[in-house]
Structure 1
């Protein structure tokens, strides 16, 4: 029986890349986008959550990324 690791790997990578303030923050406190800012806000968390859900849905359901382990 093989296990589909595609959703797990894609979710983990997106979670790391879309963590607010790690690579970028959208919206930032003083600008629209801030890069490398470690601070965050509630609005930024909401925007990054919506981006995470949208990109994950496109990659897993629409494109259908599957990684099977034996």
Structure 2
């Protein structure tokens, strides 16, 4: 049986934390911009750090497991 939990969590977080899609930290005009669809290097780094932090929290601390088979 394959554990699909880590894959699903990573995909959902990647889509939700894409800079500029829902929100963007380190925006051009404000600290937080919503739905701007513009990114900067600082925003990409901030969202990458948040992504890996939340992914680590879900996979290691919570232990998300989804089995298919």
**Structures share fold, TM-score greater than 0.5:** yes
Q: Scaled by the length of structure 2, what TM-score is found?
A: 0.98
Please say if 1:28 is aligned against 2:27: yes
Q: Which runs of 5+ in 2 are unaligned?
A: none
What is the CA–CA distance in structure 2 between the aligned matches of 1:42 and 1:34, rounded to whole Å? 15
Extract structure 1 runs of 4+ deviating beyond 4 A. Answer: none
Aligned match of 1:3:
2
- Superposed CA RMSD in Å reads 0.4
Aligned match of 1:18:
17
Q: Which runs of 5+ in 1 are unaligned?
A: none
